[in-house]
Chains A and B, each alone.
Chain A
Amino acid sequence: MRAEETLSKALGYSAIVFTVLIIGIPVFWLITGALKTNREIFSPNPQWLPSQVMFDNFTKAWEGAPFGRYYINSFITTILGAACEITMGITTAYALVFVRFPKRDWVFVLLLVALMVPEEVVIVPNYLTIANWHLVNTYAGIVLPGASIAFGTFLLRQYFRSLPPELIDAARVDGAGHMRTMLSIIVPIAAPAVATAGLLSVVAKWNDYLWPLIVTSTADMRTLPIGISWLLDQEGNTEWGVVMAATLFVVVPVVLVFLYAQRFLVSGIAAGAVKG
């Protein structure tokens, strides 16, 4: 028994080391790539470390493409998109659980149907709709088709259903309307679930690729992920240092959010999967 436990501990620690290496080395390559000079990058004997730390690649990347503008576009579309999703996720889930309505379950089934239609299947007709509304290459055009939310509604509904009904009854007897009950009782209690759903929305909007790629047509409307892939097509194999620096522009904000929130985000996602 002892030997068995020691063995599994040893394997466990080697798994930790392996994990750190498998994720860490590519990240190390990204960061050092952004710090290396072209001569170091395109040397026949590539070195692991840059000979000196220099930030020229970052300034070159920032000047090589309108990254200031990409940041503004990404921030606006992420905040608008995630705000729409989380607001509608909360109100829809609240309505489905706490507000009386004939055939309420049919509305729920409608949402389930939406869950089964991935955005990729409907991009062509959606592009045509957005074009008809003259919203191609606008923030509204980027945000609108992804503003509604099915999966988050589904998860929040499960969470709301698990709350003791006495809570809501008490508030209703006190004369609180639905809006107040939702905002001052349900949302605070469900804060962990709401925060997890909200963060997942933010990350998904920030990283969104296919739709913004299709619906933007000029450089000044591109979001960061589209911006760096355009930069890659321009600079490509000639300027790895600049391209890696630009990649860090996209990745760093999300990593900062994740460092701050990882504890409850990771456990929130896990709970969602295990408890459904």
Chain B
Amino acid sequence: MQNTARHPANSIRRLIKRDWREWLVFLAFAGPNVALFAIFTYTPLINNLLLSFSDWNMISADKNFVGLQNYVDIINDSQMGKVLLNTVLFTSSSVLLVLLLGLGGGLLLNQKLRGRNAARSILFTPNILSGAAIAIVWIYIFDPRFGLIYTVLKPLGIDSPKWLTDPNWALPAIVIVYVWKYLGYATVIYIAGLQAIPGDLYEAARVDGASAWMRFRHVTLPGLSPVMFFLILTSILSSFQSFDIINVMTKGGPVNATNTLIYRLYELGFINFAIGRAGVIGMVLFVMMFAVTLLQLRYLDRQVSYA
């Protein structure tokens, strides 16, 4: 028995048999996940590209190939400039505010203070709440005749802006809600980043007589840079995808003042049934998010390699 087991051919055969088992286990464990992605991510991405070259209204049996016509239509679409501008304004202002306010909050809440953990959790709470629910509460807060802001401003003799019906105030209103929801996330990440900076660095800087500003400039900021990078990218991604707040609060209005790429995609696809042009917007969004995610993955890889 022992002799045959040691025979090279036999042991190779056993190894192959064991390998086959391992492969089957692998397929059983990872297969369903990958299969679902094949059906609901990879294939639809290609289908979306094909749809963007076709003229279709979702109901008709004809799906005509129209080449780049939808792309030309989107470029010539008078709304498109406004939509892109809104997307850039919304993303840049909300990301900037979340990053700066979050940094301030993170620095201040990172000290040994009573109630610090409670404050951190309170600040984080909006992040886990339904965007639709938050949007509804804020419509009531912004209500120019009965809302919270009206109630605060009234004793001061100031009129409340007509937030959601005024094209000049609607986008700032959406930014406020977005920042309110995501500020706590940034703060929590900043605090974690601050705690990962070795205390010796601060000690050494103190011994060298560095002022508070210099310690911030030369120890804190460089120490936080990877976390900041992570936050910039995740915030950009989540603001691109911010659909629920806009759909509930303004439906892209008034007069397209809050119409962003993600809302325009929904509007073209599921309200106007212009599937081809919705496909074009989908490809634009994909290319933008693909670029941001690639950057993020490079960051994650770097983190892992020296963790």
Contact between chains at B285 and A124 (CB < 8 Å): no
Closest chain B CB from A3 CB (angstroms):
11
Interface residue? A117 (CB, 8 A):
yes
Given A20-B122, A96-B30, A225-B130, A144 contacting B36 (CB threshold 8 A): yes
Say which residue of B37, B105, B137 sits within 8 Å of A148 (CB atoms).
B37
CA of A124 to CA of B1, assembled, Å:
62
Interface residue? B33 (CB, 8 A):
yes
Closest chain A CB from B196 CB (angstroms):
5
Say which residue of B34, B104, B113 sits within 8 Å of A110 (CB atoms).
B34
Contact between chains at A250 and B29 (CB < 8 Å): no
Contact between chains at B113 and A12 (CB < 8 Å): yes
Given A29-B148, A273-B192, A207 contacting B129 (CB threshold 8 A): yes
Closest chain A CB from B40 CB (angstroms):
4
Give the number of chain A interface residues (Cβ < 8 Å): 102
Which residues in window 266-289 of B have CB below 8 A to A?
Answer: 266, 269-270, 275, 278-279, 282-283, 285-286, 289
Contact between chains at B192 and A16 (CB < 8 Å): no
Interface residue? B180 (CB, 8 A):
yes
Residue of B22, B40, B109, B248 with most partner-chain A CB within 10 A: B40
CA of A114 to CA of B228, assembled, Å:
24
Contacts of A234 in B (CB 8 A): none
Say which residue of A114, A145, A224 sits within 8 Å of B130 (CB atoms).
A224
CA of A276 to CA of B226, assembled, Å:
10
Closest chain A CB from B142 CB (angstroms):
11
Given A117-B45, A274-B189, A274-B192, A29 contacting B270 (CB threshold 8 A): no
CA of A95 to CA of B47, assembled, Å:
30
Given A99-B25, A99-B26, A209-B131, A88 contacting B32 (CB threshold 8 A): yes
Say which residue of B121, B146, B240 sits within 8 Å of A266 (CB atoms).
B121
Say which residue of B25, B116, B146, B285 sits within 8 Å of A240 (CB atoms).
B146
Q: Which of B77-85, B89-97, B167-175, B296-304 contacts A (4 or more CB under 8 A)?
A: B296-304
Residue of B nearest to A204 (CB): B128
Contact between chains at A229 and B25 (CB < 8 Å): no
Residue of A nearest to B278 (CB): A124
Say which residue of B25, B34, B146, B227 sits within 8 Å of A178 (CB atoms).
B25
Interface residue? B199 (CB, 8 A):
no
Contact between chains at A92 and B265 (CB < 8 Å): no
Task: Classify the interface of chain B: helix, strand, loop or mixed.
Answer: helix
Contact between chains at A276 and B270 (CB < 8 Å): no
Say which residue of A15, A102, A110, A209 sits within 8 Å of B37 (CB atoms).
A110
Closest chain B CB from A193 CB (angstroms):
14
Closest chain A CB from B253 CB (angstroms):
14
Give B124-144 as 1s and 0s: 1 = Cβ < 8 Å from A's Cβ atoms.
111011111101111111010
Closest 7 CB pairs of A and B: A270-B192, A276-B303, A125-B44, A148-B36, A95-B29, A15-B108, A122-B44
A contact residues vs B (CB 8 Å cutoff): 4, 8-9, 11-16, 19-20, 22-26, 29-30, 33, 41-43, 45-46, 48, 88-89, 91-92, 94-96, 99-102, 104, 107, 110-118, 120-129, 144-145, 147-150, 153-154, 158, 162, 178, 203, 206-207, 209-210, 213-214, 224-226, 228-229, 232, 237, 240, 243-244, 247, 250-251, 254-255, 258, 262-263, 266-267, 269-271, 273-276
